[in-house]
Amino acid sequence: MTGVVNADSVTKRYGEVLGLNRFTASFPSGITGLVGPNGAGKSTLFRLLAGQLRSDAGSLTLLGFPAWGQGEFRRRVGYCPEHAALFDWMTGFDFVTTLLRVDGFSRANAQERAGRAIETVGLTEARDRRLKAYSKGMRQRIKLAQCIAHDPELILLDEPLNGVDPVGRATLSALMRQLSTTGHHLIVSSHVLYEVERLTGQIVMISHGQAIAQGDLHRIRDLIDSHPHMVDLETPDPRGLARLLGAWDHVVSIEFAGPEKLRVLTRSPEAFYAALPALVVTENLAVRSVHSADDNLDAVFRYLAGGGR
Amino acid sequence: MSISAPRYGAAPVARTGRIHRTLAIVHRELLRRAGLGTILVLALTYLAVTLVLTINTDFASLTGSLTLATFETPYASPAWPFLMLIVATSVGAGSLAEDVGNRSITLYFSRPIRRIDYLAAKTAATGTWMVIAAVGPALLGLAVILALGWAPASLVLAGAGAFVATGLLASVFFTGLALALSSLTTRSLYAGVAIFGVVLSLEIGAPLVSGLTGNSSAAYASPITDILSVAQSAFGISGPFATDPLTSAALLAFGGGLLAIFAGWRISRVEVVGE
């Protein structure tokens, strides 16, 4: 295997539970999407790659180095974890600067890079605010800033768009594409296939700790299309948003799932995700978060894992 | 015309060495623990120790009984080891436990920082706070005495040496204990309770065992007794001591070091498991 990241029969157990089960895949250069439902083993793989976990069996390398440990090669890797407490008593700027200094940058260089990374993720106005005052979307952005600030060759992004508002998603997706055009290698995990599809055609699908498909995304697209896609939206005006979404012909149903929560079922997620940011901007809507449930994908994963039965 | 994938071509940047990277964590840790509670406890300690030292010295010089032992007063009472216990709990209990518990350790371990450097940074930060609490107040008190001219400089210098020696030993032990217990859990509360539990159990248990078995060496098991013996000896007080001061000093240093090594062993194996 000659990928940027190579996994050969990697197994990771949490007691009786199998996190990864003889996972074998090769992640080539450019952007690769790691797609799978929640609990499939995506975060376990990322933690193994980030040197947080030690595999029980198999071989896992990134940039040619064994994944376990904190060697100097780590400066060539950026990691944006899905769940990690930030240093809440710090400002966003101090947070990124501190981690850059741990990376080995001088104070002046770290401050300069931190400012640039924060600007890249669109948080310049909030950079001097304490992290505890950041929204979920802002926290995702600042995590991304610390991940890219040292200009790493390999960038590991674990569910980077989770909890980010629609406009933010578009911005961050554009940033990821831009990074790939400058030769950075990105591995982006998501339980939402459509998010990944807009970034890359190169994917690894994971289910129950095993790689069940790898390669061109378009080959499995047809399987996905037959399943309606569920999207949860958080907004202070669910009725107003529901009225606008109801006019879209691919929207199958709309459910008020909470006082400020809307659950939408769409036949064409691609069209939905493409049109939503424009709707938010033109109608001046406040959509706080967009979350895609993965129930529909489960069916596809079961299908693939079952060998097409 | 040929088409090829873009190549990563960021220019290499000069990086600082391991020590600077470790110091970056120390700096962050020192700031992290500089909360209002810690500052308040320290301010009260500095004030109390300075007052006790100066009043005692003034009284002793008036009565003509000023000796090195005069300076021992703040360290003579068990209140001082208990203060160390409080500081160790507030700055050390969460040192490792919090990072593992809330997974912020992830942010460090994905960087080119060795686990041993991470632990060294945590030890240095906790140790610094312990020294600030253990030695700082007495040195301030002595500086005031020297400035007021209430004691000869040679005596003040000897007193400073005694405070530094005793304070450093106590700091080494409590730092090691706090880190070791912090490495055993993911909750700082549990580590804090454990620090108090261990020290108080030994303080109560050691004399009991000593009394029941008739074996006086059991007294060495109590770190507070060890610290008080070392302090009394350092300030020139003649015995008898509850424990031999030299043996106690060695036990405190060795115990603290051993506990820190244990914390290092734990950290070298820690895995950050998700939800």
pLDDT band (50, 70, 90) for residue A1:
low
Distance from CA of B187 to the nearest CA of A (A): 14
CA distance linking residue A299 with residue B182, whole number of Å: 44
**DSSP letter string, chain A:** --SSEEEEEEEEEETTEEEEEEEEEEE-SSEEEEE--TTSSHHHHHHHHTTSS--SEEEEEETTEESSS--GGGGGEEEE-SS----TTSBHHHHHHHHHHHHT--HHHHHHHHHHHHHHTT-GGGTTSBGGG--HHHHHHHHHHHHHTT--SEEEEESTTTT--HHHHHHHHHHHHHHHHTT-EEEEEES-HHHHHTT-SEEEEEETTEEEEEEETHHHHHHHHTS-EEEEEE-S-HHHHHHHHTTSTTEEEEEEEETTEEEEEES-HHHHHHHHHHHHHHTT----EEEE--HHHHHHHHHHHTT--
Retrieve residue B50's tokens: 């300075």
- Does residue A306 have a pLDDT over 70? no
- Does residue A3 have a pLDDT over 90? no
For position A226, what pLDDT does the model report?
62
Residue A124's domain comprises 5-220
The mean pLDDT of B218-244, rounded to a whole number, is: 88
Distance from CA of B2 to the nearest CA of A (A): 17
The mean pLDDT of A238-244, rounded to a whole number, is: 91
Q: Which residue has the higher pLDDT, A300 or A255?
A: A255
Question: What's the total number of domains in chain B?
Answer: 1
Residues A283 and A177 placed together within one structural domain of the fold: no
B33 domain-assigned: yes
Residues A230 and A210 placed together within one structural domain of the fold: no
Question: What's the total number of domains in chain A?
Answer: 2
User: Who contacts A7 (Cβ-Cβ below 8 Å, separation ≥6)?
Assistant: A23, A24, A25, A26, A45, A58, A59, A60, A211
Residues A148 and A232 placed together within one structural domain of the fold: no
Residue type, B30: L
Residues A96 and A177 placed together within one structural domain of the fold: yes
Summarize pLDDT for A254-292 with one digit per residue, the tens.
Answer: 999 889 999 998 888 878 888 898 898 888 888 888 887
* Locus of tokens 């060695």: B250
Distance from CA of A67 to the nearest CA of B (A): 10
Query: Which one of A79, A84, A89 has the shortest CB-CB distance to B103?
Result: A84
- Does residue A302 have a pLDDT over 70? no
- Does residue A225 have a pLDDT over 80? no
- Does residue A99 have a pLDDT over 80? yes
Asked whether A189 and A35 are in contact (CB, 8 A), the reply is yes
Chain A residues inside the 8 Å CB shell of B102: 84-85
ipTM above 0.85, yes or no: no
pLDDT band (50, 70, 90) for residue B104:
confident
Contact criterion met (CB < 8 Å) for B109 and A54: no
Residues A98 and A55 placed together within one structural domain of the fold: yes
User: Who contacts B222 (Cβ-Cβ below 8 Å, separation ≥6)?
Assistant: B202, B203, B205, B206, B207
Residues A238 and A108 placed together within one structural domain of the fold: no
B5 domain-assigned: no
- CB distance from A191 to chain B under 8 Å? no
Residues A192 and A267 placed together within one structural domain of the fold: no
Residues A210 and A240 placed together within one structural domain of the fold: no
For position B4, what pLDDT does the model report?
65
Return mean pLDDT, chain A: 86
Residue type, A181: T
Summarize pLDDT for A49-92 with one digit per residue, the tens.
Answer: 988 899 999 999 999 899 987 778 888 999 998 876 778 888 99
Based on the number of CB atoms within 10 Å of its own CB, is A243 exposed (0-12), middle (13-18) or buried (19 or more)?
A: exposed
Cβ-based contacts under 8 A for chains A and B:
114
Residues A9 and A138 placed together within one structural domain of the fold: yes
Length reported for chain A:
309
CATH code of the domain covering residue A256: 3.30.70.100
Retrieve residue B54's tokens: 């100066």
Residues A163 and A231 placed together within one structural domain of the fold: no
Contact criterion met (CB < 8 Å) for B32 and A74: no
Contact criterion met (CB < 8 Å) for A102 and B24: yes
Query: Which one of A53, A103, A153 has the shortest CB-CB distance to B272?
Result: A53
Lowest model confidence (mean pLDDT) among A4-8, A215-219, B157-161, B233-237: A215-219
Residue B164's domain comprises 18-269
pLDDT band (50, 70, 90) for residue A308:
very low
Contact criterion met (CB < 8 Å) for A50 and B106: yes
Contact criterion met (CB < 8 Å) for A85 and B6: no
The mean pLDDT of A137-153, rounded to a whole number, is: 91
B11 domain-assigned: no
CA distance linking residue B189 with residue B182, whole number of Å: 9
Asked whether A65 and A74 are in contact (CB, 8 A), the reply is no
Residue of A83, A86, A102 to mutate, interface with B, max B Cβ within 10 Å = A102
Chain A residues inside the 8 Å CB shell of B95: none
Residues A175 and A245 placed together within one structural domain of the fold: no
- Does residue B274 have a pLDDT over 70? no
Residue of B110, B114, B118 to mutate, interface with A, max A Cβ within 10 Å = B110
User: Which residue of chain B is at minimal alpha-carbon distance from A87?
Assistant: B104
- Does residue A103 have a pLDDT over 60? yes
- Does residue A224 have a pLDDT over 50? yes
pTM: 0.81
B68 domain-assigned: yes
- Among the candidates A179, A198, A220, a domain finishes at A220
B27 domain-assigned: yes
The mean pLDDT of A234-261, rounded to a whole number, is: 90
User: Which residue of chain A is at minimal alpha-carbon distance from B33?
Assistant: A89
Residues A151 and A196 placed together within one structural domain of the fold: yes
User: Which residue of chain A is at minimal alpha-carbon distance from B268?
Assistant: A69
For position B16, what pLDDT does the model report?
83
- Among the candidates A174, A204, A220, a domain finishes at A220
Summarize pLDDT for A179-214 with one digit per residue, the tens.
Answer: 888 888 999 998 877 778 888 888 898 888 988 888
DSSP state of B55: H
Return mean pLDDT, chain B: 88
CA distance linking residue B163 with residue B71, whole number of Å: 9
Distance from CA of B190 to the nearest CA of A (A): 19
pLDDT band (50, 70, 90) for residue B61:
confident
Lowest model confidence (mean pLDDT) among A134-148, A292-306, B64-78: A292-306
Contact criterion met (CB < 8 Å) for B6 and A183: yes
Residue of B3, B22, B107, B114 to mutate, interface with A, max A Cβ within 10 Å = B107
- Among the candidates A220, A242, A265, a domain finishes at A220
User: Who contacts A61 (Cβ-Cβ below 8 Å, separation ≥6)?
Assistant: A5, A6, A67
Chain B residues inside the 8 Å CB shell of A30: 5
Contact criterion met (CB < 8 Å) for A51 and B7: no
Summarize pLDDT for B163-173 with one digit per residue, the tens.
Answer: 999 999 999 99
For position A70, what pLDDT does the model report?
73
Contact criterion met (CB < 8 Å) for B112 and A72: yes
Contact criterion met (CB < 8 Å) for A109 and B13: yes
The mean pLDDT of B227-251, rounded to a whole number, is: 89
CATH code of the domain covering residue A188: 3.40.50.300
- Does residue A304 have a pLDDT over 70? no
Query: Which one of A50, A83, A183 has the shortest CB-CB distance to B275?
Result: A83
